Structure 1
Amino acid sequence: MRDLTDDIALMRPVIAALQTSGNDPAKVLARIGLLAGELPPKRFPHAQQAKFWQAVIDETGEPHAGLFLVEHLPIYHGLLLEYLFLSSETFGAGLRHALRYVRLLSDALNARLDVEGDRAVLTLAVDSGVSRHFPELLAGAVIRLFKALTEGEFALYEVHFIHPKGASPEHYRAVYGCPAHLGSKRYALVFDSAILSRCSALAQPELLQVHDLVAQRQLSEIERLDLVSQVRELIAELVIDNRATLEQVSKRLNMPARRLRERLSVAGVRFNDLVGDYRCRLAKDLLLNTDERIEVIVELTGFSEPSTFYRAFKRWVGLTPVEFRNRRNS
């Protein structure tokens, strides 16, 4: 299973909210090993959300950190999804357009819009493996954005969270302006569906086309990185049995081998290079950090003959495996 990631754009508004609330973002970042102004790469592991929010709690002293920061969030975050909203003809069209590209923000979001009579249900996610502060902040950010886009006409009925425990009902109502239900099957906002037909004063079809094209390119880049990551994971799984072949990996991906080769080429990598890179890193790790015999390392790295392993390692590193390990010992 691939690791879920979030876009760094999700962290920037939180940092701005910390600043506005009178807290020093640099101290929060320091608690998770980052220097002031040193943010993670474009995408970062979703699993780090829990560590980040614990740092926010420790620094602010606020046990309900997500709710606390909602009121300090900037309304607009400069996100591409916001531009898709603004340039669409109606609120509903903008929302549906933005939902096509919600993965640009986070792999953990599984958003969809359902209309049930006079009620619309915007589901944000259906998985519970996340710190509750993230969905509580996200719900507040979405509500603030929707109210701004509709000049206050957005009417929210209720908010649903998967986590069973949180703040008091009064606290949720004070932040969201409506009841919040804990222990639900999904993270969702329930609102008046009439707002979906509201016309946008900033609708510009030409800009919408531009924004849509940019979003498609960014989504393609994420999917490209996904494929390379999946192939690397399968190589690691299959290499020990000397089954890390293009045919075996493509079979596991339910994809013709030729198609996989073409998609990797578009991604700028070659399958054999990925296999060689993994074998090299694994061999160096075993030589440096274990006392396994060379014969065992040959087997673990998927080589059928020691001589083939020796030649490959010398080509990768410029040293024989024995010379490489002796350098560690010296």
Structure 2
Amino acid sequence: MGAVTSLFVHKMVAAAAGPGVDARAILGLVGLDPDIPPDPGTMIAATAYYDLLERIATLRDVTDLPLRTGASMRCDDYGALGLAFKAAPTLQGSYDRVARYARLWTTVVQYELRLDGANTWFMLHRAGPRRLGMRLSNEATLASATAIAREVHPEGRFTPLEVHIAHPAPRNTDAHTAYFGCPVLFGSDRDALLISPGALAEQNRLGDTGITRFLLSHLDRELAELTGAADVTGLARDAIARALSEGQPRMDMVARRLGMSARSLHRRLARDGLTFQALAEDTRRELAEGLLGDHRYSLAEIAFLTGFSEQSAFNRAFKRWVGTTPASYRRARVAGIPAAATPPSA
């Protein structure tokens, strides 16, 4: 089960507080004491976080909640990582640090900087069904990434070229356009900010090379401790699941997202008797089986989300995995027939 820092919970609840929304009571639902200051190191289950956001959505209009939450974020809220973001010489360096060290405050989201011609995508990857709580969280994450970029800009001005959000648009998107100051494209194939090379090259107003060396050394130690203690196979499985909608993930890409070399990842998987290829295939199968149990996803969408360019290829692979077609498997799930009892289709 993935986890997120309780900092996000505190910020969301504070932004939502008002008539009809008792902030203290809502924090208590996830076991947080409202009288204790937020600690980025305190984690809660991602599912509990999504449940909390969906609870708030029954009490008030949440259209602009992610934007107001994002606008409230400051670098200092993130502890050493926020200081490292602020101390980087350029915004490129700041976002590089988010991509590398984000695992210190979340196990459900991974970040990536990806070149696209002269521009760069700052992308977030989060696996799983796009329930309302996840959608709100994704919007808040993009809004937060924008807010802290504006904080370090010499004149407080940072505007992406475009904002892409994978889920459908709310009824009114005026607040989104006003906040980001650029086109906001819902129903995209990604959750990301598109950033110009000029914006990434802008010198941060608080950049400090000396502080940067100290902070990165500290963060590297924390990351090494986390990686050493973590279930690397489980982390790799999560990274593969998040990357599948972009096609068959490569080991070097997954290793980079985990903050290690491809050779190290290969060695850690081998200790568990696994190869990267076998783990990727098993992850695809598990994700496909889970999505087939959710009728909000068509077979074509599930094929895409599990890394297949065509539904026919997905059908063949799934039949090889479980002995039946995806459609037959879904019908059996509805009928309550155990997967093992599903007869192979002709």
TM-score (norm 2): 0.58
Please tell me whether Structure 1 or Structure 2 has the larger radius of gyration of its CA atoms.
1
Counterpart-to-counterpart distance in 1, 2:18 and 2:150: 20
The residue aligned with 1:46 is 46
Question: Is contact 2:176–2:184 with CA below 8 Å preserved after alignment?
Answer: yes
Structure 1 residue aligned with 2:81? 81
- Aligned counterpart, 2:66: 67
Q: Is the 2:12–2:65 Cα contact (8 Å) retained in structure 1?
A: no
Match of 1:28 among 26, 29, 50: 26
Distance (Å, rounded) in 1 between the aligned partners of 2:20 and 2:73: 14
Distance 1:90 1:132 in 2: 30
Q: For 1:116 and 1:229, how far apart are their aligned partners in 2?
A: 30
Is 1:200 matched up with 2:240?
A: no
In the TM superposition, what is the alpha-carbon distance from 1:134 to its structure 2 partner?
0.3
The AA in structure 1 aligned to 2:5 is D
Distance 1:72 1:19, change over 3 A: farther
C-alpha deviation, 1:198, in angstroms: 1.6
Query: What residue is the counterpart of 1:235 in the other structure?
Result: none
Say whether the 8 Å CA contact 2:73–2:148 is kept in structure 1: no
Q: Name structure 2 gaps, 5 residues minimum.
A: 235-266, 274-346
- Deviations 1:284-303 (CA, angstroms, capped at 9, x unpaired): xxxxxxxxxxxxxxxxxxxx
The 5 A counterparts of 1:287-326 are none
User: Separation in 2 of the partners of 1:164 and 1:22?
Assistant: 27
Structure 1 runs, 4 residues or longer, greater than 6 Å off: 38-41
For structure 1, the 5+ residue unaligned runs are 231-250, 258-330
Tell me by how many angstroms 1:168 deviates.
2.4
- For the aligned residue pairs, the C-alpha RMSD in angstroms reads 3.4
Match of 1:137 among 134, 137, 140: 140
In the other structure, the counterpart of 1:170 is: 174
Give yes or no for contact 2:71–2:147 (8 Å, CA) kept in 1.
no
Q: Distance in 1 between matches of 2:147 and 2:217?
A: 26
Query: What is the TM-score normalised by the length of structure 1?
Result: 0.61
Matched, 1:226 2:230: yes
Residues 1:182 and 2:186 are matched in the alignment: yes
- Give the direction of change, closer, same or farther, for the CA distance of 1:21–1:185 in structure 2 (3 Å limit): farther
Of 32, 35, 38, which residue of structure 2 is paired with 1:37?
35
Q: Percent identical across equivalent pairs?
A: 19
Give the conservation status (yes or no) of the 8 Å contact 1:21–1:72. no
Whether the 8 Å contact between 2:84 and 2:215 is mirrored in structure 1 is yes
Alignment length (residue pairs) = 236
Q: Could you tell me how far 1:146 is from its partner in structure 2?
A: 0.9
Distance 1:179 1:171 in 2: 12
The alpha-carbon distance between structure 1 residues 72 and 140, as it changes in their structure 2 partners (threshold 3 A), is: closer
Distance 1:85 1:203 in 2: 9
Cα gap change, 1:22 to 1:95, in 2 (>3 Å): farther
1:205 Cα offset (Å): 2.0
Change (3 A) 1:141 1:103: same
Measure the CA separation in 1 of the matches of 2:232 and 2:123.
29
Preserved contact between residue 18 and residue 72 of structure 1 (Cα < 8 Å): no
Partner of 2:108: 108
> How much does 1:132 deviate?
0.7
Residues 159-168 or 206-215, more deviating: 159-168
CA distance in 2, matches of 1:136, 1:200: 24
